[in-house]
Structure 1
Amino acid sequence: MKRMASVNRFIQFNNETIDTKLLHGMEMLAGALADAPYLKVTTRKLVEFRPSESTLSISVFWRHRAPHIERLGYKSDIYLMAAGFWRDFDVPAWRTFISSNSPLPELKQQLLLCAEEFRLSEKIKKARPGTAEAFKVREETYAGYHKDRYKGNRQKGFAVDAFLNAAYLRLRSIDVVDTEEWEPLFFMWSRMFDAQSTADSAEVVGAMMDRLEYLFEADLVHGYYTFGEAVEKNQPFRYHEGIEPEQSDDEEKIDTIEEWFQSWHRESEASESAAMEFELEQGGSGYAEGGREEYGSGEVEHTAKGDSRGEHKEDNETDDRQMASSSKKAGTKFGNANNRVAYTESRIRIAAGQRGQIEEWRRKQAPYVKSLLRELKKRMMQKQQSLRTNLNAGRLSKDLLPLVIEDRPKPFYRKSAPSKELDAVFCLLIDGSASMIDKLDETKQAVLLFHDVLRGLGVPHEIVLFYEDAYEASDDRQPNYFEWMHKMEDGTLDHADAIASMEAHEDNRDGFAIRWMSDRLRSRQEKHRFLLVFSDGEPSAYNYAENGVVDTADAVAEAKKQNIEVLHLFLSNGTISDEQAAFYRMMYGNKSVSADSLEHFVDQTLRLLKRTLHLIIQSV
């Protein structure tokens, strides 16, 4: 299930956080250089290509270095992949090269990638002089790395690894000791200075391999280069009832990495479009008597959780609660990290026997709610101004006689300001993951406070629980659920029973939920639009670990561009560390606040609401 906040991970060396702004910048740079806006960037041990995920992976080699070295190092990775390998690496030549058998396959492949890195780096620097600084940092840092590894590999007897280290250094004109036996090989290696293509590099490495296979019995022990996914790996066809795969006798010819990625991207979009077209044209729309669809899988049956047989009988909720919502496909609308998500929207199922607990919570919160409402309404009344005359500035009065008969006339006046309602809308997203199970009571009380204050002010608001079904999630489909406790169109209806019916489920896909709610807020006409996220840990869902942090930060940035203010309240049952606070600021900026104990969660919610509403009143 969801990983708890990073402070709880006691293995420090595995406690890595991601600079989401830096990674987002690398993604923008890669998309611009490759002219491929669909590209994603993530971090892995080595630089590699992953077309099935539309991803370029930059190396964690640059972590824990001086900030300017880290930044330029990551840039050099992007330059090498998106401006070098992307269009100038010959895929057929690579496939031909690796298809021939060798007793040293790892050395063979990594030596060619080492050669191509050198060739393409030199080509990029000539074509784009602005990249020279990044490549200078890259070569200096890697030269130091290979020097150290060369010494260590020599001492440990890893001769093949030492040879690769020395080969890297020789291309940068750096000599190393104890290489006399390899000098004939390095003489052939020097032909790389004249290489103009992947085929040329392959010819140089191929000529060296006969002697290398004679000198060395064992292959490389460590990995210094990797290509990523195999070029032969094809996009799997996703079968849907009523759709047949297209038959083709001729395999699409792929000459460059750009074409390889485009092929995956096109097929992925085509597969999604075909599936959606079938579901729209052929999918059943009938519903069983109990509220579930007559046709559908187990996932759709799970959506019957939104069917209500509780105590609420408001007319405007009947349709929502008597029929489970059908699953919708996210596609590319909600970010690349969520393109396999299928989401279901429904009203939360009301649990019986909650009334006594609700009355107790409201009895405790009543003084705070009444005090806040009284204060806010007073401030709103103070914004009203009565008619004032005889002013030095303002609107010119129709009675201009004072201009003639008075030495210091004051012929201006100000109109009374009409009373205004708060021009705002609030949406509250509540993390419904498993780790919330020990915090549910405090969360329900905080949400009830939120609900009662906004109802008292007549402010439209929405309250939604979000989660992912971890047990049903797969590579092809990640089912997510949104359960409404209160909808904007419900006005001031009391939905305390729905709030008290919240339950903890499995995982949380925060970036997707923020985009989903932002999409709903975008159509609202209110001047002030707020999206509050209540969560107790970092995003965690299927294939949503490291990229989940980046996806959430991107979703927050996108919401801000749409004039939606995203606020985050972190709920913890322990003291908040500086590390945790910094982690959430990385995703939410300075709009993330923390409750350092369960007892303070309601207080922090009240403080957050109070501060936000005061700002709205001041702007009226």
Structure 2
Amino acid sequence: MASVNRFIQFNNETINTKMLHQMEMLAGALADAPYLKVTTRQLIEFRPSESSVSVSVFWRHRPKQIERNGYLSDIYLLGAGYWRHFSIRAWTKFKKASTELPNLKEQLLLCAEEFRLIEKISKERPGTADAFSVRESIYRDYHRDRYKQNKQKGFLADAFLNAAFLQLRGEEVPGSDGFKPLFFLWSGIFDAKSTRDCAIVVENMLPRLEYMLEEDMVHSYYTFGEAVENIPPFRYHEGIESEQRDQEEEIETIEEWFQSWHRETEISEAPAMEFELERGDSSYAEGGREEEGTGEIQQTAKGDSRGDHQEDNDAADRQTEKAAKQASGKFGSANNQVVYTEKRIQVQQDQRGNIEDWRRKQAPYVRALLRELKKRMTQRRQDVRHNLNAGRLSRNLLPLVIEERPKPFYRKTAPSKELDAVFCLLIDGSASMIDKLDETKQAVLLFHDVLRGLNVPHDIVMFYEDAYEASDAAQPNYFEWMHKLEDGNRDHAQEIVSMEAHEDNRDGFAIRWMTDRVNKRTEKHRFMLVFSDGEPSAYNYAENGVIDTANAVSEAKKQGIEVLHLFLSSEPTTEEQAAFYRMMYGNKSVSADSLEHFVEQTLRLLKRTLHLVIQSG
């Protein structure tokens, strides 16, 4: 797991996950492509193999209003402009023509297309005017400054692009007299109606540019992203005639380019199902291949009888944990290649001494909390509230006659004897937890004992990713159960003290996985607690891991699950760290300033949430 405290302060960029999520939703809506992801890169660009478009980090470290409008203008250009109104065919043909100034040639066309598309979007969608106005103002200042610097350094190709940008905005650029004949040709962009029209204007300028300029551009102001030639092969159905197979699928728009990659991704995301269909595995259908035999039983069924049947549960767990499951897009696009296994944690022996010692220390806190909560539950059942504006009509109707504003109603609360709540505890099992294991075990044991004392069903599970086996094709993840909702009130202290640190952590995936499990419960109050000591870190899960985790938390809250986060740290928490976790978990993130405070903060979290459950009855 990567720490929030990176060693280079100026490199310690944090992502506004809420804003990026909003941009992703907007881009998907504009492009009518729900699968579309939004990332940040140096310049706006297209990455269809990742199903993503990138907004520019150019807008960072500016006033909030400018930053937001800048990102919005990027999304408008990408989702409402380039997506359907940029010609891939014209771009491919344009790039094939040889020239001594390839960088300047391509960036001039993209500069022209940006101008054309902004004009087009502004007319079709007047609501985009404010964002584009901010964009134009900031970029004008930027290109003025860059023009002066490039002229001084002798980067004439770069200076020409800066001047060309300003010329389209009606600005006369001082010291650009030598470019005036070219600007006359460049003004043809005002009449351009398509990518091909812009390409013709740039091609007409190239011979003079090659004569005037000795060197190509040094810097990049525009980029396109992945090469258009990078298109997945079209998958033909077996019934297609051979002559039809020779006809290549022609891509005209960026939308079609992305869709071809999206189809390829959907096909490749079901390797397990394809494997089973090709093998004819008897676990999926009767009558599999003879050499496969009868097939091994994958699952066992349990009746709905009352009581704790731990042996049956364990037997079922041992059967199901043998086969890993494919995420296949079910738990967020950032986790498409995850393969996960659910299993019971392996119990370590000779841990009774630690358990007895920890429980002896925690006993006063557990007894006090249980006594307080049960007292509140009893009061909640017995208290009658009088003088209310609504409720049951009291037998004493005298206030109707003698009082100016009578309140003749009363209400007697009568909640169920048991708390209508379910708790799930997710524990980060990454390598960085190794120095915090004892304190974490004590906190989890407290969590377990309090909820057992109140007969509240709860899950306790540790999650981690195997960093050594992770690859582009598959990222193995594991969930190790210490206590399951189905286990009832059984004591699993031995399992809790058997926790060990592993490698990486994929927090967003774990939260989505647990959300899917909790959604099957019928309790009124549902809580998910996440114990973690740093930011998400796994294979291909750096910047997008933070965004994925924030989105997973948001999705869980929308489904009525309250997500709480406890940041485990061996040092006092900095304001930067606190802000980082608030960005992912909102105001439901708290921190323990030292190892000694883990148990105290866990007790405080439990006390606060259980009080809310009792109060709302």
TM more than 0.5: yes
Counterpart of 1:594 in 2: which secondary structure?
Answer: strand
Report the Cα distance in structure 2 between the residues aligned to 1:215 and 1:388, rounded to whole angstroms. 90
Match of 2:592 in 1: 595
What SS does structure 2 have at the residue aligned with 1:567? Answer: strand
CA, structure 1 residues 594+255, in 2 after alignment: closer, same or farther (shift >3 Å)?
Answer: same
Q: 1:388 to 1:504 in 2, by over 3 A?
A: closer
Q: 2:379 aligns with which of 368, 379, 382?
A: 382
- Measured after TM superposition, the shift of residue 96 of structure 1 is 0.5
Deviations 1:192-232 (A, max 9, x none): 11111101111111111112122222221111111001111
Q: Distance in 2 between matches of 1:104 and 1:355?
A: 75
In structure 2, C-alpha distance between the alignment counterparts of 1:492 and 1:324, rounded to whole Å: 23
State yes or no: 1:478 paired with 2:475: yes
Residue 564 of structure 2 aligns to a residue whose secondary structure is strand
Alignment of 1:73-152 (within 5 A): 73-152=70-149
Query: Structure 1 residues 179, 482: closer, same or farther in 2, change over 3 A?
Result: same
* Count of residue pairs the alignment pairs up: 581
Partner of residue 41, structure 1? 38
Match of 1:338 among 328, 335, 339: 335
Q: Which one-letter code corresponds to 1:4 in the other structure?
A: S
Question: Matched residue of 1:383: which SS?
Answer: helix
Paired with 2:476 and 2:463, the residues of 1 have a C-alpha distance of 11
Greater shift, 369-378 or 567-576, is seen at 369-378
Partner of residue 206, structure 1: 203
Once the 2 structures are TM-superposed, how far is the Cα of residue 132 of structure 1 from its aligned partner?
1.3
Residue 429 of structure 1 and its aligned partner are, at CA, apart by 0.4
- 1:235–1:268 contact (8 Å) kept in structure 2: no
* The 10-residue stretch of structure 1 (265-274 or 484-493) with the greater mean CA deviation from structure 2: 265-274
Partner residue in 2 for 1:184: 181
Distance 1:253 1:395 in 2: 73
Q: Tell me the distance in 2 between the aligned counterparts of 1:195 and 1:485.
A: 66
Q: Alignment identity in percent?
A: 73
Counterpart residue identity of residue 86, structure 1: W
User: Does the 8 Å CA contact 1:433/1:506 hold for their aligned counterparts?
Assistant: yes
**Is residue 376–residue 614 contact of structure 1 (8 Å, CA) maintained in 2?**
yes
416 and 161 in structure 1: CA distance in 2 versus 1, 3 angstrom threshold: closer
In the alignment, what sits opposite 1:523? 520
The residue type paired with residue 451 of structure 2 is L
Q: What is the letter of the counterpart of residue 177 of structure 1?
A: P
1:499 to 482, 496, 499: 496
Q: Distance in 1 between matches of 2:584 and 2:282?
A: 40
Partner of 1:232: 229
Pair 1:321–1:208, CA change in 2 (3 A): same
Structure 2 counterpart of 1:464, from 447, 451, 461: 461
Q: Structure 1 249/518 Cα, relative in aligned 2: closer, same or farther at 3 Å?
A: same
| Amino acid of the structure 1 residue aligned with 2:346 | R
Report the alpha carbon displacement of residue 51 of structure 1 after superposing the two structures with TM.
0.7
Could you give the per-residue CA deviations for residues 162-220 of structure 1, whole angstroms, max 9, x where no partner exists?
A: 11111111111112222122211111111111111101111111111112122222221
The one of 202, 209, 212 equivalent to 1:215 is: 212
Report the counterpart of residue 576 of structure 1 in structure 2. 573
2:55 aligned partner, one-letter code: I
- Give the distance between the partners of 1:413 and 1:145, measured in 2 at CA: 69
Contact map agreement 1:381 1:419 (CA 8 A) in 2 = no
Deviation at 1:248, TM superposition (A): 3.7
What residue number does 2:301 align with? Answer: none
* Mapped pair 1:3 → 2:2: yes
Verify the 8 A CA contact 2:231 2:260 in the aligned structure 1.
no
Shift of residue 488, structure 1, vs aligned partner: 0.2
* Alpha-carbon distance change, 196 to 413 in structure 1, aligned in 2, over 3 angstroms: closer
Q: Name 1:18's counterpart in structure 2.
A: 15
Distance in 1, matches of 2:170 and 2:107, equals: 19
- 1:562-603 CA-to-partner distances (Å, cap 9, x unmatched) read 100000000111111111111111111111111011110110
* 2:548 counterpart of 1:551: yes
Contact in 1 for aligned 2:467/2:538 (Cα 8 Å): yes
55-64 vs 31-40, which moves further: 31-40
Letter in 2 for 1:180: D
Map 1:193-592 → 2, pairs under 5 A? 193-235=190-232, 248-273=245-270, 275-279=272-276, 282=279, 314-321=311-318, 324-385=321-382, 417=414, 420-592=417-589
Deviations 1:220-279 (A, max 9, x none): 1111111001111123799xxxxxxx9942221110001111111112112324652433
Q: Distance in 1 between the 2:163 and 2:385 partners?
A: 87
CA 1:428–1:214: 2 relative to 1, 3 Å: same
Shift in Å, 1:60: 0.3
CA distance in 2, matches of 1:388, 1:199: 77
Kept in 2, the 8 Å contact 1:237–1:271? The answer is no
Alpha-carbon offset, residue 348 of structure 1: 1.0
Specify the code of the residue in structure 2 equivalent to 1:3. Answer: A
Whichever residue aligns with residue 2 of structure 2, its letter is: R
Output the CA distance in 2 between the equivalents of 1:176 and 1:532: 59
User: What SS is found at the alignment partner of 2:43?
Assistant: coil
Contact (CA 8 Å) 2:340, 2:478: kept in 1 or not?
yes
User: Alignment partner of 1:508: what SS?
Assistant: coil
> What's the counterpart of residue 288 of structure 2?
none
Q: Structure 1 residues 414, 510: closer, same or farther in 2, change over 3 A?
A: closer
CA distance in structure 2 between the aligned counterparts of 1:109 and 1:41, rounded to whole angstroms: 24
Q: Secondary structure at the match of 1:137?
A: helix
Distance 1:31 1:158, change over 3 A: same
Shift of 1:343: 1.1
Structure 2: give runs of 5+ residues left out of the alignment.
Answer: 236-241, 284-291, 293-308
CA distance in 2 between counterparts of 1:415 and 1:67 reads 50
Aligned counterparts of 2:482 and 2:94: Cα–Cα separation in 1: 60
Distance of aligned partners of 1:22 and 1:388 in 2 relative to their CA distance in 1, 3 Å threshold: closer
Measure the CA separation in 1 of the matches of 2:390 and 2:47: 67
Rounded Cα–Cα distance in structure 1 between residues aligned with 2:348 and 2:276: 33
